[in-house]
Amino acid sequence: MSNNFEKATFAGGCFWCMVEPFDQRPGVESVVSGYTGGHVENPTYEQVCSDTTGHVEAVQITFDPKIMPYEQLVSTFWQQIDPTDPGGQFNDRGESYQTAIFYHDDQQRQIAEKLKQELEASGKFSKPIVTPILPAKPFYPAEENHQDYYKKQSFHYRLYKKGSGREDFIKNNWQQEFDKSELKKKLTPIQYHVTQENGTERPFQNEYWDNDKEGIYVDVVSGEALFSSRDQYDAGCGWPSFTKPIDHYQVNNNTDTTHGMIRTEIRSKSSNSHLGHVFEDGPTEAGGLRYCMNSAAMRFIPKEEMKEKGYENYLYLFD
């Protein structure tokens, strides 16, 4: 393992649901499902589920802290779980489904405790935060059929995440709410039409379709970083086009059946704003996708202004 990489270990209930939020994110090298916290060496899934091993289902993340700070991983972890539930998570009950943050050094412990205190102080939950922060113990990878379950069994995974109650809990507790009347004052008419009414601006008559400056594009509503000029290319369509988002975690893919078509809509996770659509006619050497976005849904931050505007974390994109 490279000297730049560190490990983070989180237990958040069923480990099937704890891989996707961290996987394919910038700076994340791998996400492994497994078992930790108990006293049995190399346990099986059946042993752990019997609640006789002391183990919990967990994920171990190998990451580069210069690109993906540990704070960001912990914040993402809190947004996947019910931290007030001591008896499991959602429909999954029992010791093996309890939550925990396992720290690998004193710095991780301090960061985790600070963010836990901030969550408690925020008043987001009326009940106490019961997720413990514990020293890391040996981690045992789970069986191969449990690795990357969200990719291998995507249909069943989606049904399970929804049916267990996790998906709705996350949406109800972590989706930011924006006042439409305030947005109408803050945004231009085209920005409001695109982001709040699923509109589409005119091709070749929008701000960024031919932008060739270096920088990042952020959500015009929430300010969340979405796309980098490094991934922008001229698709000839008249809208800003990208091969990928900066961080897959910050966008949601929805099926769009309007206008007699079946398309994949892209929405911002932080604001639930409509951004555009993704198509499978992008450059094959860059993965084959074309994220076709509306300029009106984004604000461009030039590279030289990123530090002063609070986007210093993303300067690594231009190294």
Check if the beta carbon of residue 249 is closer than 8 Å to that of residue 269: yes
User: Does the annotation mark 292 as catalytic?
Assistant: yes
CA–chain centroid gap for 2, Å, is: 24
**Active-site residue, selected from the candidate residues 17, 49, 237, 292:** 292
- Secondary element (H or E) of residue 161: helix 154-163
- CA dist 85 → 9, 80, 136, 319 (Å): 19, 13, 21, 43
Farthest-apart Cα atoms in the chain, separation: 64
Q: Which residue has the tokens 């972890």?
A: 77
Cα–Cα distance measured from residue 74 to residue 208, given in angstroms and rounded to the nearest whole number: 34
- Which residues have CB under 8 Å from 159's CB, separation 6+? none
**Cα radius of gyration (the chain):** 21
**Active-site residue, selected from the candidate residues 14, 17, 49, 237:** 14
Cα–Cα distance measured from residue 12 to residue 89, given in angstroms and rounded to the nearest whole number: 7
Active site residues: 14, 292
